[in-house]
Structure 1
């Protein structure tokens, strides 16, 4: 008669806590931080039928804001004070005030002035029928989240194999 397999025990609860922390952090980075922000505007009949759509999408949800294209008055680069200095943020200028287009903080270079110039060109040239600008930071957060996940699983498996 065979005896039941021994339950796996961890050498240290701190190692297990570290593994879980990396796994949760990786999932959090992938699910919430990696996102795409897209502004799309179309002028079908410029003064009669035109619309804009601002879409913020991450892995779990998508937020859509629609408004008439004639409410878009332009864009500008705003400065936000951070603990480690200032960060640029793209602000859409509308008839109802300023609307944030980009994240309040980005850990890497985003061509803010180029995006602002494209938006302002669309506003200033009524013959331009469409606009699509996008800020996509998934390329940064998805690999970072995957690295955290892999580290967490490696720590977990390493500790499991050492017992």
Structure 2
């Protein structure tokens, strides 16, 4: 053996396979904690940014009845007016455990936001259908408000995900500080 090999062995420490497995377990744990934290933050943000308040107002007070669907959330408000005589009926579409109120008009479909809360979507569809069929009813005002459910849920997911990311980052900094002291 040459003197350069002896010097490199003395200066460089060799790790056992057990130590390397421990390192890879820490890296794998950190990776999955980071992925989970990022997913929670993104999903929480998606909850917060989706429109959460929908209002349908219909009036037969004038000779030409008019309806408007107002959908609002953190990104702003969308107002869709349409003639009452074009409203044919309301229906409910299922999306897994969530449901969505759909207005069927002669021009197409108008969608309420997907209902992630515990609002009674089928009852609202029935209320709209009764109004459409009963020409004696003068007005209809209907709201679907998921903010009380979605905003706390979205904020909780963001806080939990941020905590995971922060604690994982702190662990990584502590590990690298310990290694640099060795």
If the length of structure 2 is used for normalisation, what is the TM-score? 0.62
Q: Give the superposition deviation at 1:161.
A: 4.9
Task: Quote the Cα distance in structure 1 between the aligned partners of 2:113 and 2:78.
Answer: 14
Deviation sequence 1:66-115 (CA, Å, 0-9, x none)? 111222232234x55x6x6x875433232224433453xx4555423311
Q: Tell whether the 8 Å contact from 2:67 to 2:82 is kept in structure 1 after alignment.
A: yes
SS at match of 2:60: strand
TM alignment of 1:117-156, pairs within 5 A: 117-156=126-165
What's the counterpart of residue 28 of structure 1?
46
In the alignment, structure 1 residue 59 sits paired with structure 2 residue 74: yes
- Following superposition of structure 1 onto structure 2, how do residues 8-157 of structure 1 map, counting pairs within 5 Å? 14=31, 15-16=33-34, 18-32=36-50, 35-45=52-62, 47-48=63-64, 50-77=65-92, 79-80=93-94, 89-101=100-112, 103=114, 106-107=115-116, 109-157=118-166
Q: Number of paired residues?
A: 144
| Aligned counterparts of 1:23 and 1:97: Cα–Cα separation in 2 | 36
Q: Distance in 2 between matches of 1:147 and 1:99?
A: 31
Deviations 1:23-67 (A, max 9, x none): 2332222112x512221112222x23x211112222113222111
- The change in CA–CA distance for 1:18 and 1:88 in structure 2 (over 3 A counts) is closer
Structure with greater helix percent = 2
Are 1:91 and 1:102, in contact at CA under 8 Å, matched by a contact in 2?
no
Larger radius of gyration: 2
- The gaps in structure 1 that reach 5 residues or longer are 1-10
Aligned Cα RMSD in Å? 3.0
**Alpha-carbon distance between aligned partners in 1 of 2:98 and 2:48, rounded to the nearest angstrom:** 22
CA contact (8 A) 2:99 2:116 kept: no
Structure (1 or 2) with the greater strand fraction:
1
